[in-house]
Chains A and B, each alone.
With several copies, the nearest count.
Chain A
Amino acid sequence: MDPVVWFFLLGVVAGVARSDLKFPAAIYDLLSMLLLLTIGLKGGVELAKTPLAGLLPQVLIVLAMGLLLPLLIFPVARLFGRLDRANAASVAAHYGSVSVATFAVGVSYLNERNISYDSQLPLFLVLLEVPAIVVGILLARGIKVGTQWGKLAHEIFFGKSIVLLVGGLAIGWLAGPVGIAPLEPFFFDLFKGVLALFLLEMGLVASSEFRSLRNHGWFVLGFGMLAPLPLATIGALVGWSIGLTPGGTTLLAVLAGSGSYIAAPAAMRIAVPAANPSLPLTMSLGVTFPFNIFVGIPLYFSIAKWLQG
């Protein structure tokens, strides 16, 4: 198994055992900044190698998927989860959006097996982050008058994760492979290690989410376990239909099948205060993330291969 995953387990064990191991907030911030910047930079460098011309249709389809997913999740959360409007919308926003760390684990899963993936995937990651959040907010508040849409839009589009991802993409794209070279030792060579530390922290947090599982009842556990596969399948089908490589298809499935726990929580907390923030976090971090890194990613990869031929 990919060693970085062991770090997640170590975090879980330490957390469950109530060890005093704890990441300072500043270190968590540094690690997540590096994660986002590096994924952006890598993506930008790849994009710089490929003509952007043909990309537009793909971009639109992916965006459409980003708008569709939350609309599929919302009714499920309402019906089966018996969640009120705000909470169902929040779940829709979280799972419609994407998990950067799951994506990173997926990438390292493919690297371990020397499987290449399409250069536009990091771009898709960025594209998929926002739409679901917007849809989620609309589902929760409707087109209420009095809502400061401008302010909200600003807070979403200039949230730090978007800024770092897009900024990284832009810099990587502008600098290109040659220009980035001197930055590689810091951003690229260290990436695996940074991810390992980040997963260690995620394990610690996940373990505390386990505890709040019981407060939330079965739906959280059930949805967290069962939602990823169908969502990822949609992602895989989309990836396949727009002609991605097996690697790329796998990653698009990972994006679709994972739940956000950085951008979405921050945005929803401000935009939909009535939604209980711990509910979707327990789902995505306590259930779906472990499911994806242990079961999901390999599964999605076989689906992708099967689709391709």
Chain B
Amino acid sequence: MSSEKRKLISIITEAAIEVRLCEALTALGARGYTVTDARGSGSRGVRNASWSSSRNIRVEIVCDEAIAARIAEYLRENYFEDYAMIMFEGDVKVLRLDKF
């Protein structure tokens, strides 16, 4: 199968910043992204999604190494300090190369 390696970036953060974050991702060169609603717990305590300000989202971006690095850099500079946010990166094989 004609496939190739890409990075899968997963960001879990506050729903409040969804719009701005997704705009930024596109600006940083991501060809697309996927968002799912989530809840959870971490260093900033339990965020259980019942009240609007305690909702999480899980944003996933499939992209190449360069963009992945740019996104990581951007998040560290703009969000890590002030927002409930984690980010991790995995390796994936994709089809439809043109799309990523």
Q: Do chains A and B touch in the complex (CB under 8 A)?
A: yes
Binds A, one of B28-36, B47-55, B62-70, B92-100: B47-55
**Contact mask A180-207 → B, CB, 8 Å, 1/0?**
0000000000000000000001001100
Among A22, A212, A261, A277, chain B packs the most CB atoms within 10 A around the CB of A277
* CB–CB A273/B83 < 8 A: yes
* CB–CB B52/A28 < 8 A: yes
Given the interface pairs A25-B55, A212-B45, A273-B82, the reply to whether A205 lies near B50 with Cβ below 8 Å is yes
Q: How far is the CB of B35 from chain A (nearest CB, A)?
A: 12
Secondary structure at the B interface, as helix, strand, loop or mixed, is: mixed
* B83 surroundings in chain A (CB, below 8 A): 273
Total interface residues on B, CB under 8 Å, equals 20
A281 within 8 A of B: yes
- Residue of A at shortest CB range from B16? A269
* A29 surroundings in chain B (CB, below 8 A): 52
Among A20, A29, A204, A208, chain B packs the most CB atoms within 10 A around the CB of A208
Q: How far is the CB of B56 from chain A (nearest CB, A)?
A: 11
Query: A208 vs B16: C-alpha distance in the bound complex, in angstroms?
Result: 20
Given the interface pairs A20-B19, A25-B37, A270-B16, the reply to whether A265 lies near B50 with Cβ below 8 Å is no
* CB–CB B53/A281 < 8 A: yes
Tally inter-chain residue pairs, CB-CB below 8 A: 45
Query: A243 vs B62: C-alpha distance in the bound complex, in angstroms?
Result: 61
* CB–CB B52/A204 < 8 A: no
Q: How far is the CB of A280 from chain B (nearest CB, A)?
A: 10
Query: A23 vs B52: C-alpha distance in the bound complex, in angstroms?
Result: 11
Total interface residues on A, CB under 8 Å, equals 23
Q: Report which of B17, B49, B79, B82 forms a contact with A25, defined as CB distance below 8 A.
A: B49
**Contact mask B71-89 → A, CB, 8 Å, 1/0?**
0000000010111000000
15 contacts between A and B (CB under 8 A): A22-B48, A23-B50, A25-B37, A28-B50, A28-B52, A201-B50, A205-B51, A212-B45, A261-B53, A265-B52, A266-B16, A269-B16, A269-B53, A270-B16, A273-B81
Q: List 6 A-B pairs, minimum CB-CB distance, nearest first.
A: A273-B82, A269-B16, A205-B51, A265-B53, A25-B49, A23-B50
Task: State the B residues within 8 Å of A (CB).
Answer: 14, 16-17, 19-20, 37, 45-46, 48-55, 79, 81-83
Task: State the A residues within 8 Å of B (CB).
Answer: 20, 22-23, 25, 28-29, 32, 201, 204-205, 208, 212, 261-262, 265-266, 269-270, 273-274, 277-278, 281
